Homo-oligomer: A and B are copies of this chain.
Amino acid sequence: MIRRPPRSTPKPSSAASDVYKRQALTARAFGASRIYLSNPDSRVIKSVEEVVDKFGGDFSIESTSNPKKVVSSSNLLIVHLTMFGLPIDTKVEDIITEGRDILFIVGAEKVPAWVFELSDYNIAIGNQPHSEVAALAIAMNKLYPNSYNTEFDGKLSVIPSATHREMIDSS
């Protein structure tokens, strides 16, 4: 009898997957209706769909192998968040005045050069390296204040508490 080697332990979720998942959940919690992933990642899609199933809302997640086409064929206002961009506080009013729905572009890795060219605004949340998720949260909060307090009417909902964890499950 030949013993098979032990199976390898489950591969940890990659750092990039984890960042994409958090971007997607932040986008949802702060009021976005959809996210496109430029790298198909079934792990991200599955975990985001599980959150939507449990916590509600109409948020959808899609993969695309051609992000440039998504951007160039979109009639949304394209706002790219990058530490190299102009300070958000100098552009918030302009963006709000446009009165258009927004497609944000954020990278977990370095974005290709066309992103700068095709974006209507290249915007920085400070010019220091930090986090794409932090940048997305601040940008959405500045453009859609308090959207993170939206009620989602899901099966699971949190009872806010000063002292402990509490959720109700209405399923």
Contact = CB atoms under 8 A, between A and B. Distances in A.
A166 interface: yes
Interface string A114-140: 001100011011111111011111100
Interface in A89-147: 89, 116-117, 121-122, 124-131, 133-138, 141, 146
A73 interface: no
A170 interface: no
Nearest to A91: B162
Contacts of A53: none
Interface residues of A, number: 57
Contacts of A66: none
Contacts of A55: 128-129
Nearest to A156: B129
30 contacts: A15-B15, A15-B17, A22-B130, A25-B128, A25-B130, A28-B128, A29-B126, A29-B128, A29-B129, A29-B130, A29-B134, A30-B130, A30-B134, A51-B129, A82-B165, A84-B165, A84-B166, A84-B167, A86-B162, A89-B146, A116-B164, A122-B162, A124-B158, A126-B148, A126-B149, A127-B160, A128-B152, A130-B137, A133-B134, A137-B137
A15 B44 CA distance: 13
